[in-house]
Amino acid sequence: MSSPNRKLKPTILVVDDEPDNLDLLYRTFHREFKVLKAESGPAALKILEEVGEVAVIISDQRMPYMSGTEFLSLTATQYPDSIRIILTGYTDVEDLVEAINSGKVFKYVTKPWKSDELKAIVQQGLETHNVLKSRTEELRLAQKQESLLYEVTSTIRACPNSQEMLQRIVETVGKMFEVSYCLLRSFGVGSDLIGLGAGVSPTKQDITATQGKEWFAYLAEGQNHQNSTTDNISVINNNDLELRSLVWETTEVMILSEGLGNDISDHDGPEWQQRRDVYQRADIRSSLIVPLYYRQELLAVLALHHTGSPRNWHEHEVQLAAGVADQAALALSQVRAYEQVRELARREALVNTITNAIRSSLDPQKIFAAITEQLGEALEVDGCALSLWSPGDEYMQCVGLYNAAIKETVVETRPAALSEPDTSTTTNLPLLGVETNQSIESDQSDDLPQSAAPISGNPVLQELIRTRAPVAIADIEQRPDSMVMLPLRSPSKALLVVPLLLDGDIIGSISLRQNHQVRHWQPSEIDMVLLVAAQAALAVQQARLYQKTRQQAERLLEADRLKTEFFQNVSHEFRTPLTLMIGPLETVVNQQQDLSLDQAKIALRNSRRLLRLVNQLLDLQRFDAGRMQPSFRPCDLVEFCQQTVESFKSYCDRKQINLVTNLQSCPQLYLDLERFDKVLYNLLSNAMKFTPTDGTITVSLQPEGNYCRLMVKDTGIGIKQEQLPHLFERFRQAEGSANRSFEGSGLGLALVKELVELHHGRITVESEYGQGTTFTVWLQMGNLHLPPEQVLDVPAEFDARRAAVELADVEVDLPDVQIDDINLPEVLVADGSASLTDHGQLGSNTVLVVDDNPDLRRYVSMMLQNAGFNAVLAKNGADGFNKAQTYHPDVIVTDLMMPQVSGLELIRMIRSSPELRGTPIILLTAKADEDTRIEGVERGADAYVSKPFNDRELIAEVRNLQALKAEERRVAHLNKYLTESVLRRFLPESMVKKAAAGDLTLDLRPEPRLITILFSDIVGFTRMSNALQSQGVAELLNEYLGEMTRAVFENQGTVDKFVGDAIMALYGAPEEMSPSEQVRRAIATARQMLVALEKLNQGWQERGLVGRNEVPPVRFRCGIHQGMAVVGLFGSQERSDFTAIGPSVNIAARLQEATAPNSIMVSAMVAQYVPDEEIIKREFLELKGIDEPVMTCVINPKPESVRDTA
């Protein structure tokens, strides 16, 4: 057995075809060298192929099969480090030089050689070989190191981020050093930025231990690990603790040639014992641990592990690994610095974006959407939710949600989440507007899933509230207690919840989630969310202040609107009676006549209405001032109800309403009848007002325990449910618009409620819209509930005299036929002399009066009749519109506030009717405010007369508008005549009628337009005019131009001009047409011209105008082109023409000149809309005045022949 320290002999190869020489060479060198023998060149090459490179080759020059020169030449190429010596027995210099050059021979020795001399030459060759081999190895190592450094540098430059850069470095170093494992672990500040995003991360329990570290690994082919989830190259999984234990923090290069044996015997402890176990299981025999330092800061550690057999780490390998580490450390520091700056810039940009969104909008929806969307996209999470709550709330409410899967951001549209927190009770949900015993699911938003989530029993939110710090969960599965209901669209894998703090209180949270993978929430990410949360808290505060201010402003505006509407209605209720009182009185005073009975009745009725309204206002004022001093006396409520109902019975009979009573005796009640009678009067008046003919009103009275229940039920129109809560408010009416169906100030029910409560009672209402309404008054029996100083034991008596005042509104609301038992006709004819025509017309001086108040309708109509006008009466806007269509009045006088169709709506209908739109309208109303006046004028009213008005004022307005209307008709007729006269010169009759009627707007201002120009001319007109007398030429030309014009007009063309015998027509101006439609009409015109010309020639021949005296039949040419031209009126105020100007006009004229007689030539622009079978010939022509050849097409003048041939 040889000693392991025995020095190996150098190997030499001797080649000679003579066996004796081979033996001699063997005996000469076998003691110092390992000698290999070959008798020929091929045999020597085979030996070299088997053993590889040898130190020295000694070869004879002349040998069979392959000479020494050839053999050495081959070895020089394949084994350049071997030293070649040639033996030769010849002295041919040229032969020797060739052998030395081609075989790169070190020395040559002539035969016979001397043993010592040959040995010396071989020894020199061996030394030379060793030097060459050493230098070659050095060059190889240098090249390898340079190659590795170059590859690492290229990798660094090519990688877009630090994570990919470190992984590529690990792969490159692992492959270059041919190790089993190459691991890299990053350390230091900024390492948390490596792999920022949705990368893998430790569980929450490992956050403290592993924060700020990242792992990269290369595993050689065939290396498997029991916990590895990678193939050969990947980022190590966090659960792969064994591989992560193979790299540790160190400050110097560690060379471990015997694993974790004696080399690190001074290291002890559980961690190192675990590493030794891993070393043993992984069969790691040698390791090289290299730290990556930059400016005395440890950035990372690189670990190279070799398995299976020991490995001696050579000095150049250690230096190479250190050089790679230096390059990687420099690049890593630069990348970390760049990523830190980029992260800061991104954080700053995100905060600026959210801040700008908060500052640029007061809309909470836009702000919450911007916060969740910007933050979700910046951190590349699957979802981001913004939730709000207040101290003491049981539920959190999601107000903004970003979902990355569908790139959708939804926000809560209800403003309740921004309301001021209610700290007085915990039984309600002020953020949601529901009570705790209600189903939360019933109040969910359609857009935000699970928008309300419970706070109690939620460990994540409880931890958030307790710590007031972010809660980061890398893997929810590792925390079963966190699997709770949160405002998220789908189950989450990782979760980060950050509180919204405002003045030390938590008002909400921002939740970020990953759906499908764990995520280690980096400190930089948490800091960014905290910054955004601070901005979001300010945004919530700002939104709440804005919401509160807006709600206050809306309440003030609503109160102002209600007051304005109330005073307008009160003004209306005042002005209408005043008109019917002042108007007749002024009339009889001016005419020095007595007041008629009818006028006196109207005045009395409206005086009572006015008195009733004044009494209501005074009663409400007394309530407000606290000066309402009741006097409660015992009364028989059954008798009081019977007497009150009896006073209403006659009015119900006249309106054909059934009045039913069901009155049961009640124990003695204490009432102030002077005030309580207004309760029953108002309820009965409302019931009559809103109950139609054949309806029923039921008054019932019955005891209920200690109370007496009074009910007034009707089968009228009912009240909408949304109006019921506001029915007893002073500034509210069930109908407050201009087209409310019934008159009234809106004070009645407000006063009823005040009066019932004055008696310590209660009033309720039930109604079904379209079915009817029931009012119920509850009155307590006895007097113990009343103030003793206001109770008198003197029985109360019913005063029936007040019924006349309280029933004034009821009397006015009765149908026309029932007023004073006089039948008021639909039409009042002036002086009683005129009569209706066969078509139902009244002729001139007809005024339509539209008002829902029969007294006012009668007063105005009688006034107009006395002034010589025919009056047509209508009771509302709908009736007025029908009467206007029937009678076509000269003037319309209409009230503003009417049922069904208001005065403003009637104006709109009139102005929309072609037959009635010009009718003058006087708006007659009690609303005297400026806004109503302006609105009426904007809607189309010609005059505005406020109540109360003077009869002379109204008659003057009617006559002025009648005169203006007559003048307007005269001017319109003249304008129509002038318009038609001008337009008939160049437009077809159908367009002239449209333009004159106003149905076609002609904009004749010059402007560029795409048009089609037709240009036609008579062939040989000059010769014809010389042969014919002037009278004959004029007769022929006028007939020709007339027929050609008719052809143009029948195809909706425009005659631009006549130039002698030439005609120019336009299509597409002034009436717009599509390009294809222009071409179709122009070609149809040209063909119609040809047909008309044939008929003209026949007539002219019969009359002797053509066909004799050397006057041939008339022929014409036609050119058609489509292009841009400036079209419109050109000229001055004295004279102007509608024409087209531009190169397109010139091209059409030149096409006409170039075509054959009785032919139609078109340009390529026109031909694109013409069927190919209708085109006879295509060719390029040089046209006069056109710089380039023009593509022209001749089309068939009679397309019927084309179809017949087909």
Question: So where are the chain's domains?
Answer: 11-140, 159-337, 361-421+445-555, 622-733+746-810, 824-974, 989-1205
CATH architecture of 159-337: 2-Layer Sandwich (3.30)
Tell me, what's the pLDDT at 972?
Answer: 67
The whole-chain average pLDDT of the chain stands at 78
Percentage of the chain modeled with pLDDT above 90: 13
In the prediction, which pLDDT does 653 show? Answer: 85
Q: What is the mean pLDDT of residues 366-384?
A: 86
Q: Could you tell me how many residues make up the chain? A: 1206
Give the pLDDT confidence score for residue 977 in this predicted structure: 59
pLDDT for residue 1105 = 78
Work out the average pLDDT over 202-230: 51
Distance CA 651, CA 596 (A): 24
Q: Which residue bears the tokens 């509160």?
A: 548
CATH of 622-733+746-810, one of 3.30.565.10, 3.40.50.800, 3.60.21.10, 3.20.20.80: 3.30.565.10
Continuous H helices in 597-695: 597-625, 637-654, 673-690
Other beta carbons within 10 Å of 70: 14
Check residue 115 and give its pLDDT.
82
pLDDT score of 733: 59
Distance CA 971, CA 655 (A): 50
Instruction: Give the H or E element holding residue 802.
Output: helix 802-806
What pLDDT was estimated at residue 1205?
Answer: 34
For residue 826, pLDDT over 50 is answered with: yes
State yes or no: pLDDT of 1133 exceeds 90. Answer: no
Whether residue 464 is predicted with pLDDT greater than 80 in this model: the reply is: yes
Per-residue confidence band for 766, with pLDDT thresholds at 50, 70 and 90: very high
For residue 802, is pLDDT > 80? no
Q: Please name every residue paired with 1178 in a beta bridge, in sequence order, or none if there are none.
A: 1193
- Give dist(CA 619, CA 171) in Å, integer: 96
744 confidence band (pLDDT: 50, 70, 90): low
Q: What is the DSSP code string of 364-423?
A: HHHHHHHHHHHHHHHHT-SEEEEEE--TT-SEEEEEEEEETTTTEEEE---GGGGSPP--
CA separation for the pair 844, 889 (Å, rounded): 8
Give the least confident one: 663-677, 926-940, 1069-1083: 926-940
Cite the beta strand spans of 56-101 per DSSP E: 56-60, 83-88
Nearest by Cα to 14 from 57, 69, 62, 51:
57
Kindly tell me if the per-residue pLDDT of 1014 is higher than 90.
yes
Mean pLDDT in residue range 1007-1035: 80
**With contact defined as beta carbons under 8 Å apart, do 558 and 526 qualify?**
no
What pLDDT shows up at residue 396? 83
Residues 411/369, Cβ–Cβ less than 8 Å = yes
Of all residues in the chain, what percent carry a pLDDT higher than 70? 78
- Average pLDDT of the residues in 316-339: 82
Average pLDDT over residues 771-794: 88
**Pairing relation of β-strands 214-219 and 83-88?**
unpaired
Does 806 have pLDDT greater than 70? no
Does 72 have pLDDT greater than 90? no
Residue with tokens 């706070």: 455
Q: How confident is the model at residue 995 (pLDDT cuts 50, 70, 90)?
A: low
Q: Would 159-337 and 361-421+445-555 be classified into the same CATH topology? A: yes
Which amino acid would we find at residue 38? A
pLDDT bin (cut points 50, 70, 90) of residue 273 is: confident
Two structure tokens written together for 613: 């309204």
Q: What's the pLDDT score for residue 217?
A: 87
For 169-236, the three-class secondary structure string (H helix, E strand, C coil) is HHHHHHHHHCCCEEEEEECCCCHHHCCCCCCCCCCHHHHHHHCCCEEEEEECCCCCCCCCCCCCEECC
Judge whether residue 1086 has pLDDT over 90. yes
Q: Does domain 824-974 have CATH number 3.50.50.60?
A: no
CATH 3.30.70.1230 given to domain 989-1205: yes
Inter-residue contact 822 to 599 (CB < 8 Å): no
Tokens at residue 1100, please? 């002219």
From 184-193, 501-510, 1165-1174, the region with the lowest mean pLDDT: 184-193
Helix or strand or coil: residue 82?
coil
Over residues 2-24, the mean pLDDT reads 77
Model confidence over 581-632: pLDDT tens digits? 777 777 777 777 777 777 777 777 777 767 767 776 777 777 777 777 888 8
Of 202 and 871, the one with more pLDDT: 871
Per-residue pLDDT, 319: 84
CATH 3.30.450.40, domain 361-421+445-555, yes or no:
yes
Does the pLDDT at position 233 exceed 80?
no
Which two three-digit tokens encode residue 304?
A: 């190279």
Q: Distance (Å, rounded) from C-alpha 1170 to C-alpha 658?
A: 80
Q: Which pLDDT band, with edges at 50, 70 and 90, does 231 fall under?
A: very low
> Quick one: pLDDT at residue 737?
42
Residue 393's pLDDT is 80
Write down the residue that tokens 């030149």 correspond to: 1150
Tokens 């016979």 found at: 112
Asked if the model's pLDDT at residue 736 lies above 50, the reply is no
Any bridge partners for residue 478, and if so which? Answer: none
CATH 3.30.565.10 for the 11-140 domain, yes or no: no
Of 68-82, 186-200, 1000-1014, least confident by mean pLDDT is: 186-200
Q: Of 135-149, 229-243, 602-616, 1055-1069, which has the strongest mean pLDDT?
A: 1055-1069
Q: Given pLDDT bands bounded at 50, 70 and 90, which one contains residue 63?
A: confident
Q: How far apart are CA 501 and CA 535, in angstroms?
A: 10
Dihedral sign of CA atoms 860, 865, 867, 872 in order: positive
pLDDT higher at 192 or 151: 151
What confidence category does residue 741 fall into, taking pLDDT thresholds of 50, 70 and 90? Answer: very low
